[in-house]
Amino acid sequence: MNNTILIVEDEKKLADSLSEYFIHLQYKTHVIMQGDEVVEWVKHHTPALILLDLMLPGKDGVSICKEVRAFSNIPIIMMTARTDEIDRLIGLEVGADDYICKPYSLREVAARVKAVLRRFSPEQEVSSNQLKVNSANFHVSFGEKTTELTAVEFKLLQTLSTSKGHIFSREQLTNKAYEDNRIVSDRTIDSHIKKLRKKLSEIAPDINFIHSIYGVGYKYDV
């Protein structure tokens, strides 16, 4: 089983602390402290998850996240000391699966990592109206067309599609997508739904799978 955590952090003491803690939890780790070394390393290795600092020498975390997402759906957790909501949202917009704000406890980081990895664990394939969602690789297919989802997009689609016609509030969807029960703004869920709809429209342009219910939330119906 692949259990390597890639730690991308330029503060050596912090990187060492993270590495030692995850090794203690029976994970393998690899540390990179220079931003411009990350993408090439990921292309030749397959970590289970990337802990990615936002501010790095050589190349920043947002740029790295965009480049990795161009070829891989490896789970990415952004780590940042910039705590305003816009920066958090930007991190998720570029394909990150979660974020964590500095300063943080090692226990908190481990909890976030475990929660994200749980979302990536294989589950039964579900399908509706020829739309197939495969949790083994997060591929969504409609006919002969296929697209890839991030972990959060997958969890949202799975939640909605397995309860066809049921209206989910943004709070309920947040609790499904983020199992650590954190507070996430409605804008974050709306952003993920928007991106999910766009991906679905690319493979099934004539079908609206996810419907907005004004003032309430979203439902899946076709």
Residues 150-181: pLDDT tens digits?
A: 888 988 998 898 888 888 998 888 888 876 66
Chosen domain end from 102, 119, 136: 119
Task: Please give the residue range of the domain that contains residue 199.
Answer: 126-220
Are 113 and 13 found together in one domain?
Answer: yes
pLDDT of residue 90: 61
Mean pLDDT across the chain, nearest whole number? Answer: 85
Same-domain check for residues 40 and 98:
yes
Domain boundary among 80, 95, 119: 119
CB 174 within 8 A of CB 184: yes
Structural domains in the chain (count): 2
pLDDT of res. 57:
94
Q: Single out the residue in 66, 86, 119 at which a domain terminates.
A: 119
CATH number at residue 34: 3.40.50.2300
Assess whether pLDDT exceeds 80 at residue 84.
no
- What is the side-by-side order of every strand in the sheet holding 168-169? 168-169, 217-220, 210-213
Report the CATH number that the domain containing residue 135 is assigned in CATH: 1.10.10.10
The single residue listed with the structure tokens 């803690």 is 21
Give the predicted TM-score (pTM) of the model.
0.61
Domain check: are 14 and 105 in the same one? yes
CA dist list (Å): 14 to 27, 37, 65: 17, 18, 20
Same domain, 32 and 109: yes
Q: Which residue has the higher pLDDT, 35 or 132?
A: 35
137's tokens: 């690789």
Same-domain status, 133 and 193: yes
